[in-house]
Amino acid sequence: MWLSLFRSVDRFSLLNFKYVVKELREIKVVNKHNKELVVDLLQSVVEIVTYGNKQDPMIFEYFMECQVLAEFLRVLKISRNSRIDIPLLQYLSIMIQNMDSEHAIYYCFSNDYINNIIEHQYEFNRGDLAQYYVSFLRAISGKVNRATLCLLVKVQGNSVVSFPLYDEALKFAFHEEKMIQTAIRSLALSIYYVCDDMVYQYITTPPVSKYFSDLVIRLREQCSHLDFLVQASEDVCIEHKRKQMFLQADKIADDLYYLKDILNIGESRLSRLVAENLLSSLVLPILQPLLHSSKRNVSNLSGVTSLYLVSRLLQVIDGKGMMDPVAGAILYLYFDSSVQDAIKDTATANHFTDSFSKRLNKMEEMTYSVSECEEESISCPPCQDSFCDKRSGLSAFLFSENQTLQLASLFLLLIVAEIKDLDCSLFPKIGLNGMHGADKNSFSRFLDQILNALLKVLASQTPFSAVIKWHTGWFLRKLLIGREECFHDHNLHLFNTSFEQSRQQLEKELDGCWFDHILDTLRNEWKSCTTVLEESFHSKDAFYILELAVSQITTDDDATTLSAWQRMVDSVKVFVLHLQLKSYMLRGNSLENPLLCQTESPASSSGQIHSSDVSSATFGSEVSLASGVPCRIAFSKAGIRDIYIIPVTTGTFGRLLLTEKHPFRSQRGVVLAIAPLAGLSPKIDDIHPTWLHLRIREFDPIFFTNIIKGSHSSMSSHGTDGKWTLGFQNADACEAARFLILKETRKQRSKVESLLSPLLHNDWPKDEWNGHDK
């Protein structure tokens, strides 16, 4: 033990360190023959220096005096295809990361050794060198502060002419590997936080400032790719398309949050540069589809993608200097000249260049030039209000027959209305500040039309998805807060029509193969619906806009139990939505779930004579055969078996037991299989009247729910149901078995229906609703 300890201490002695440095200096060339030796020497240097930095000042003094860092640079230069660069960078990173004194960091950054190692000509086209190099840069940036920054820049006169750490890092800014991209962004942010005026001037001046325009251009390319996915042909798998869209939207969000981090640093030159690029190269181009002229769409983005992108940008990037120009650009064309001038003045006040104002003028010219052509064939009276009633641009989307565009444009307008600290002088004439309770008259003029359009979505005979209707309900609740008086009779009639349709649809599901899951689904969806309806603007995931664009409704004759399950869940979702909206309209708050206090009692069983062990039987259980019906069934691997079927209902639970007589107890049987009564659909064979066919639900709702929970996708609806064919002694016995199964199924259904009846037949909350209706 003592020998081992002695060797350990001796290894980290100054004497040993001098020996290692001497050995390293004697290396004249690095090749594959001595690479291992050189790597060991470099490792020893780093380990001893790291130890000396904390335990032995003499070691670090010798490290500085002999300029050992110069040996690392020399090893790089004398390397001949030895690939010594990866371990060298790795060890240097470790050494720098472990330096915790200003004195040690100051020395390492002096004499340009670090800069020269950074600027060395590496061959990044092989192996994982890029990852180690970027890690090396990150290690350096982690030790940079205002005191040491000057050691890493090259200055001529009063200007920075080179910043190797930053310059070389930006070469990897758009690397294909996400980990490297993230590291470079973290490095850049750490530099921005410690920059002085000279370095900021260098960073925000061409050609270095091109990084920020490249960022926005890259972001715009990401947006174009997202739009490509949105507009992909219908033969593309919907679930795959949704997943690809989500991944692409996630990339865009990452870029937006990075730009937000840069803006939040608060340096005026940096913020101005980023904001200018965002407005001129991203915001205004993607707003083009929202203008009057769709023929001159310079961004080639679809309307739904443009609406999503602007909404997402407003959700992510805050700050008055950015929000006022963006909001002003969105509504610029709907104002008179005095308000348009105010928007331009706002941009000037926020230190934007003329490019933003020129962009706004160009938007105006493009729109008016097309408007003149259109007005030759369609006359339109002059607009008497700042927010023109003419259905063009954003207002055309707002009142579009396309529900996705309608909801997306409304979402964008409401986000604008909810922006805190917005320049209120820009927006009073359209009544958007009415969202905060002021000046409701102007907005109310459009509110009635918007409410009517939303209610038509709910009441439409077109089978819109439950997703679309939930989002429609979210908008209705947001618009009705504090504006219940705007819900006029014609809108109430539309809602009542829609409510009745949702009730009838849910009633139909009582005859479906999943009626036994309606109560559980209603309990689950009740909470989910309340959460969705009460979601705030800024927490609401704008991705739903894209989901609406690709949502499809299955209207074919798909008879699988999976498609039936999805249809039942959607029916419950829509019905719960109407109940909650009804409560918000009448009471101003959400309803408590009336089914939460209802519990099932095992004693509420059917009139059949069943032993208690039958109602609670599981696979392999031993049960009474007193109520069993004898028959035969053929198993693929076990051949034909003589069995008994026992249909049993207990409250809302119903099952069919397949049992085989116990070998030693004649009145007892062993459960071989269990199937839910709901969905069996017993049918006697057309050719063989002694055969009874049963459909078996193979789909597992619990597994399905766990798979899609928290994801942006749903499971594809391609599944096959199971099938049992039972053989009876004669046709009468077969018919009797069929009748018994149906009888038990009806009792189960009747119990479910009795629990749903207060909701389905409007007995709750009846008095308040009827009073409102009058």
Report which of residues 564 and 558 the model is more confident about. Answer: 564
- What are 498's two structure tokens? 């829609």
Looking at residue 618, what is its pLDDT? 85
Report which of residues 363 and 407 the model is more confident about. Answer: 407
- In this predicted structure, the answer to whether residue 510 has a pLDDT above a threshold of 70 is yes
- What are 310's two structure tokens? 């602007």
The closest of 255, 256, 273, 262 to 205, measured between CA atoms, is 273
Contacts of 149 (CB under 8 A, 6+ apart): 191, 194, 195, 196, 199
Task: Return d(Cα 339, Cα 342) in angstroms, integer.
Answer: 5
Task: Return d(Cα 417, Cα 434) in angstroms, integer.
Answer: 8
Looking at residue 774, what is its pLDDT? 40
Question: Which of 94-108, 390-404, 480-494, 567-581 bottoms out in mean pLDDT, i.e. has the lowest?
Answer: 390-404
Q: 10: pLDDT confidence band, cut at 50, 70 and 90?
A: confident
- In this predicted structure, the answer to whether residue 549 has a pLDDT above a threshold of 60 is yes
CB 114 within 8 A of CB 156: no
Looking at residue 424, what is its pLDDT? 53
Report which of residues 485 and 333 the model is more confident about. Answer: 485
- What are 311's two structure tokens? 């909404």
Highest mean pLDDT among 422-436, 539-553, 585-599, 602-616 belongs to 539-553
The b-or-e profile of 380-399 (16+ CB within 10 A means b, else e) is: eeeeeebbbebebbbbbbbb
The residue length of the chain stands at: 774
- In this predicted structure, the answer to whether residue 571 has a pLDDT above a threshold of 60 is yes
Question: Which of 68-77, 165-174, 350-359, 751-760 bottoms out in mean pLDDT, i.e. has the lowest?
Answer: 350-359
Q: Is the dihedral of CA 653, 659, 661, 664 positive or negative?
A: negative
Average predicted confidence (pLDDT) for the chain? 80
The total of other beta-carbon atoms located within 10 Å of residue 438's CB is 11
Please write the tens of the pLDDT for every residue from 656-683: 999 999 888 878 999 999 999 999 999 9
Looking at residue 486, what is its pLDDT? 66
Task: Return d(Cα 458, Cα 466) in angstroms, integer.
Answer: 10
- What are 416's two structure tokens? 């604008």
What are the backbone angles phi and psi of residue 601, rounded to the nearest 5°?
A: -110, 125
- In this predicted structure, the answer to whether residue 289 has a pLDDT above a threshold of 70 is no
Task: Return d(Cα 373, Cα 711) in angstroms, integer.
Answer: 47
Q: Which residue has the tokens 């000279």?
A: 198
Report which of residues 715 and 379 the model is more confident about. Answer: 715
Looking at residue 583, what is its pLDDT? 87
Q: 456: pLDDT confidence band, cut at 50, 70 and 90?
A: confident
What are the backbone angles phi and psi of residue 555, rounded to the nearest 5°?
A: -115, 5
Please write the tens of the pLDDT for every residue from 13-30: 999 999 999 999 999 999
CB 435 within 8 A of CB 428: no
Task: Return d(Cα 493, Cα 478) in angstroms, integer.
Answer: 20
Helix (H, G, I), strand (E, B) or coil at 555: coil
Task: Return d(Cα 12, Cα 375) in angstroms, integer.
Answer: 87
Average pLDDT of span 106-133: 92
Task: Return d(Cα 697, Cα 703) in angstroms, integer.
Answer: 13
Which residue type sits at 403?
Q
